Structure 1
Amino acid sequence: MTADQRAVDLALLGRAVELSKLCPPSETAFSVGAVVVGADGATISEGHSREGDPLFHAEEAALAKLPAGDPRLLGATVYSSLEPCGQRASRPLTCSQLLIAAGVARVVVAWREPDLFVTDCQGTALLEAAGIEVVELPELAAAARAVNAHLIG
Structure 2
Amino acid sequence: MTSDSAPTDTARVESAMRRALSLATHGPAVGANPQVGCVLLAPSGEIVAEGWHRGAGSDHAEVDALAQLPDARGLTAVVTLEPCNHTGRTGPCAQALIEAGVARVVYAIDDPNPVAGGGADRLRAAGVEVLGGVLADEAAELLLPWLTSMRLGRPWVTVKWASSLDGRAAAADGSSQWITGTASRQHVHEQRAAHDAIAVGTGTVLADDPSLTARGDGGELLPHQPVPVVFGATPVPETARLRQHPAGLIELAHRDLAAGLAELDAREIRRLFVEGGPTLASAFIRAGLVDEVLIYLAPMLLGGPRTALDDVGVTTMSEALGLSIRRIDTLGNDLLVVARPTAGGH
Q: TM-score, normalised by structure 1?
A: 0.84
List gaps (5 residues or longer) in structure 2: 1-5, 149-346
Task: Report deviation, 1:41.
Answer: 2.2
Task: Report deviation, 1:74.
Answer: 1.4
Specify the alignment match of 1:141 in structure 2.
Answer: 136
Task: Tell whether 2:43 aligns with 1:49.
Answer: no
CA distance in 2 between counterparts of 1:96 and 1:87 reads 9
Contact kept in structure 2, 1:33 and 1:48, CA below 8 Å: yes
CA distance in 2 between counterparts of 1:96 and 1:145 reads 21
Equivalent residue for 1:150, pick from 142, 145, 148 = 145
Specify the alignment match of 2:76 in structure 1.
Answer: 77
Task: Tell whether 2:63 aligns with 1:60.
Answer: yes
Task: Report deviation, 1:150.
Answer: 2.6
Task: Report deviation, 1:133.
Answer: 0.4
Task: Tell whether 2:111 aligns with 1:108.
Answer: no
CA distance change for structure 1 residues 41 and 113 in 2, over 3 Å: closer, same or farther? same
Task: Tell whether 2:31 aligns with 1:27.
Answer: yes
- Report the structure, 1 or 2, having the larger strand content: 2
CA distance in 1 between counterparts of 2:85 and 2:116 reads 9
Task: Report deviation, 1:79.
Answer: 0.1
CA distance in 1 between counterparts of 2:25 and 2:93 reads 19
Q: Which residue type is aligned with residue 65 of structure 2?
A: A
Contact kept in structure 2, 1:27 and 1:151, CA below 8 Å: no
| Matched position secondary structure for 2:109 | coil
Contact kept in structure 2, 1:87 and 1:121, CA below 8 Å: yes
Q: Answer 1 or 2: higher relative contact order, Cα 8 Å, separation at least 6.
A: 1
RMSD (Å), alpha carbons: 1.9
Task: Report deviation, 1:54.
Answer: 4.6
Runs of 4+ in 1 over 4 A off after TM superposition: none
- Report the structure, 1 or 2, having the larger helix content: 1
List gaps (5 residues or longer) in structure 1: none
CA distance in 2 between counterparts of 1:74 and 1:99 reads 9
Aligned residues: 143
Specify the alignment match of 1:95 in structure 2.
Answer: 93
Q: TM-score, normalised by structure 2?
A: 0.39
CA distance in 2 between counterparts of 1:19 and 1:54 reads 18
Contact kept in structure 2, 1:81 and 1:110, CA below 8 Å: yes
Task: Report deviation, 1:5.
Answer: 0.8
